[in-house]
Amino acid sequence: MDISHWQRRLSELCEAHRVPGASLAVLVDGEVHECATGVLHRGTGVEATTDSLFQIGSITKLYTATLVMQLVAEGALDLDAPVATVLPEFAVADEVATKTVTPRQLLSHTSGIDGDFFHDTGRGDDCVAAYVAACAGLGQNHPPGATMSYCNSGFTVLGRLIEVLTGQVWDVALRERLLDPIGAHRTVTLPEDVLRFRSALGHLGEPGEEPVPAPVWGLARSAGPAGTINATAADVIRFARLHLDGGRAPDGTVVLPAEHVAAMHRPFVQLPAGHASRMCWGLGWITYDWPGGPVIGHDGATVGQKAFLRVVPGAGVAAVLLTNGGVPAEVSQRLFAELLGEHAGVAVPTFEPPAEPPAVDLSRYVGSYVREGYDVEVSERDGVLRLRGESTGELASINVVTEAVLVPVEEGLFAARRNEHEPWSPVVFYTLPDGSPYLHFSMRAAPRSRPSGT
């Protein structure tokens, strides 16, 4: 592998899409290749290097899911028994969900629990337990098992399951049961540990504008099992390699039995726009049905930082890109298309509207769609459907308002982007089996709370 070529491509793409700094690691033919570009902080000018830590956001969920599957392999946890059998104190607002939601539903984002509840319960070792207690008033955005909706809250609940069954706080269980065995010594969860290394700060700004340093560093500790890992790109590859090697650490130790690794990679639920995005969800992992695949992976986002992981089990190839601002989705799309095409024989598909969009009935989609932490208003003006999304939770002060034109792809399916600097994303309007109208956007399901004209 010619890493100097990918160093140039990484630098070119980051400059073109205003990404301040990035780190890339690729596993090919059993060897890890690394490169980095840019700066970790535009205010200080500190250079991004391959040994720099970035926030990997929701890629953290794959680590938590692996810990959960360890407990399943040990016979300590039944994926299909209600969460309440291990956590009798677990409760949400809906009585049926409280009694019936299972770890399998949490792992696959099918529990229906409102997922973007970023509640800060402090810095103590009891923060995950306190977070679970605070979920008692949390509503449902759909009945358990009715559809798929990305759920951060569910992974903090899984983190509490890990704590109760291991007798360790999540951070310690993660270190002792997973990170140390695979040699991921530059992977940490707490800010005071991050300070021992070179680390990135996130940058914020509208696409097309120069990003500026974020006013806050990261998420609350209570979000740990869902998204607070900091790591080098090479350490994320060490984790990916565990899944490529059937659950074995570099020294041959079985960290997770191969059959449980395979179970995590199997598609479990298709997204409502699955035929367009070619995505399903397994147990933690996203599964991609791409030509030359299959491929598994996950993305992550925190305050001004985004991370992208793709693994091709059939080729033994893995790639991770860590970034700290700008429009990194475009960088990852182009970079992974080139990398996986050359080294894994995989074609990375793109999603975009047709050159001549079909005529559809726009009025049937107009209305308000509301879920925990986010409100969406869909309106029609001059024959064009428009979406406006706004955060309402604890991240509202740092999350920008999303305004996008929805371009028809087919009845019920639209392509959206804020401007020409961003890639297209699918937006789906659909109904649940009971006939309830829903919007699926950014992998989240939201029920319609108010139709047009009411």
Catalogue the active-site residues: 58
DSSP states along 238-259: HHHHHHHTTTB-TTS-BSS-HH
Which pair of structure tokens corresponds to residue 249? Answer: 């650490």
Dmax (CA) of the chain: 64
Calculate the alpha carbon distances from 82 to 97, 98, 106, 343 in Å: 9, 8, 11, 43
Which pair of structure tokens corresponds to residue 304? Answer: 């001004």
Strands 402-410 and 413-417: antiparallel
119: DSSP letter: -
Q: How many residues does the chain have?
A: 454
Q: What gap in Å lies between CA 203 and CA 212, rounded to an integer?
A: 5
End-to-end CA distance of the chain: 60
Number of H-type helices and E-type strands within the chain: 14, 21
DSSP helix/strand/coil, 61 = helix
Q: Please answer whether residues 427 and 406 qualify as being in contact, where contact means their C-beta atoms are separated by less than 8 angstroms.
A: yes
Q: Please answer whether residues 35 and 49 qualify as being in contact, where contact means their C-beta atoms are separated by less than 8 angstroms.
A: no
Q: What gap in Å lies between CA 62 and CA 159, rounded to an integer?
A: 12
Q: What gap in Å lies between CA 97 and CA 87, rounded to an integer?
A: 13
Q: What gap in Å lies between CA 35 and CA 161, rounded to an integer?
A: 37
Q: Please answer whether residues 384 and 438 qualify as being in contact, where contact means their C-beta atoms are separated by less than 8 angstroms.
A: no
CB atoms within 10 A of CB 67: 22
Radius of gyration of the chain (CA): 21
DSSP helix/strand/coil, 47 = strand
Q: For 245-251, which contacts have Cβ atoms below 8 Å and span 24 or more sequence positions?
A: 249/181, 249/182, 249/183, 250/182, 250/183
46: DSSP letter: P
Instruction: Please name the amino acid found at residue 419.
Output: N
Q: Please answer whether residues 405 and 418 qualify as being in contact, where contact means their C-beta atoms are separated by less than 8 angstroms.
A: no
